[in-house]
Amino acid sequence: MNKFLGFIVLFCFTLNATSQNKKHVYFNVDAFYGIALEHDKSLATAIQGNPFGFIIGYSIKNTKNEEWLKYYNYPEFGISTLYQNTNSTILGEMYGTYIHYNFYLNNRNAKNKFLFRPAFGLGYISKPYDKTTNPYNFALATKFAGTAYFKLNYQREFLKGKLGLNSGLTIIHFSNAAFKNPNLGLNTFAFNLGLNYNLIDETTNYQKKEKTPKTKSKLNYSLIFRAGLNESKNPDSGQYPFYVGTFQITKKINFKSTLTSGIDFFKATFLNNYLQQEKELITNTKDNTKYKTNRVGLFVGHELYINHFSMISQIGYNIYYPNKYVSRMYERFGFKTKLNDHFFTELTLKLNLFRAEGLEFGVGYKF
């Protein structure tokens, strides 16, 4: 728990830095109890009991008359921190600090509210994989990892003075995006129950949610370069750089959404070492073959605009696939930030059948 105190200090410092308008601030504390999902048989030994923990959150209410707020039913921005005890001597304890949004699914002025909260951040793992001391933790191989949680909550404020109740379901995910393997990741499905506390004892009145207007737009074209480091699914096989060049076509359909499609050119240098290792296991002899590490994929996808950034989701298929690795199908999820009318940056995670292959850092130019 000493490590968690560091996350609390960081959490409180960030609260102080971001708390510009305390009139529209509230806190929530949720305890959770659940199950670790065995999405791969290799995790059977590591999953020993039911994980439990708590999430502390801080959210800022916003009633500004801005377009994106009206169309999204006045979501709230916030910061949260998490502690999870996996109830396993192999997996240990996990800690996370997150940025989150609360998206409300019903009338914002109703007493009984339902919300969806996506949260993304950085996590710390107390007992990562070690070939000697912890060889059965196939979930995570690094002390620091990316983490996210998704919460579907019922919320009632001002149930007793400034105090309210919240309850719901939470999915928690930890992964290092194949920066080092093994990295099957850990997914927890949990029930949460807790309290919320408003700093003032008066309700906030919101304008009625407006329908998203349709948008007429032409096709746009972009070039994107992405790069990063990753390791094959064989533990301790070494980290190698990868590169991705993308030509993308986009069509904006309304204020919130843009449809995307395009072609990816992959240079995955880790594949050569991986294929040599696999061949050596079969033949029991040194393999010096230079394998092809290029792949070409076609994809379709969607961008969801939220204020100053957008959320990317894509699914693709490798049409040029000279050497097998997990699957020809791939997925990409992440974030995009617009710098000006032409340049933008991206942070995306590429997966093969939802198994992480690499964290991509990208920069793009829109024509």
Contact 146, 359 (CB under 8 A): yes
The stretch 207-223 carries a mean pLDDT of 81
> 306 or 114: whose pLDDT is higher?
114
Return the CATH class of domain 220-366.
Answer: mainly beta
Percent above pLDDT 90 for the chain: 73
Candidates 249, 205, 270; CA nearest to 367 is 249
With a CB cutoff of 8 Å and minimum separation 6, the contacts of 120 are 98, 99, 100, 146, 147, 148
E strand or H helix that includes residue 281? helix 270-283
Place of tokens 């020809």: 328
Q: What is the chain's mean pLDDT, rounded?
A: 90
* CA pair distance 362, 314, nearest whole angstrom: 15
The pLDDT, as a whole number, for residue 2 is 53
* One fold for 2-198 and 220-366: yes
The pLDDT, as a whole number, for residue 22 is 46
Alpha helices in 19-78 (DSSP H): 67-71
Contact 249, 261 (CB under 8 A): yes
2-198 belongs to CATH 2.40.160.20: yes
* CA pair distance 345, 331, nearest whole angstrom: 19
The pLDDT, as a whole number, for residue 208 is 75
Q: Per residue in 288-325, pLDDT tens?
A: 999 999 999 999 999 999 888 999 999 999 999 999 99
With a CB cutoff of 8 Å and minimum separation 6, the contacts of 4 are 83, 93, 95
* CA pair distance 307, 311, nearest whole angstrom: 11
What are the extents of the domains in the chain? 2-198, 220-366
Single-letter residue type at 240: Y
> Structure pTM?
0.87
Q: Is it the case that residue 27 has pLDDT exceeding 90?
A: yes
Contact 361, 335 (CB under 8 A): no
Backbone angles phi, psi at 111, to 5 degrees: -70, -40
Candidates 71, 33, 62, 75; CA nearest to 50 is 33
With a CB cutoff of 8 Å and minimum separation 6, the contacts of 338 are 308, 309, 310, 344
* CA pair distance 28, 98, nearest whole angstrom: 14
* CA pair distance 252, 216, nearest whole angstrom: 8
3-state DSSP assignment of residue 75: coil
The pLDDT, as a whole number, for residue 202 is 74
With a CB cutoff of 8 Å and minimum separation 6, the contacts of 352 are 325, 326, 327, 329, 330, 331
Token pair of 104, please?
């409300």
* CA pair distance 63, 52, nearest whole angstrom: 35
E strand or H helix that includes residue 201? none
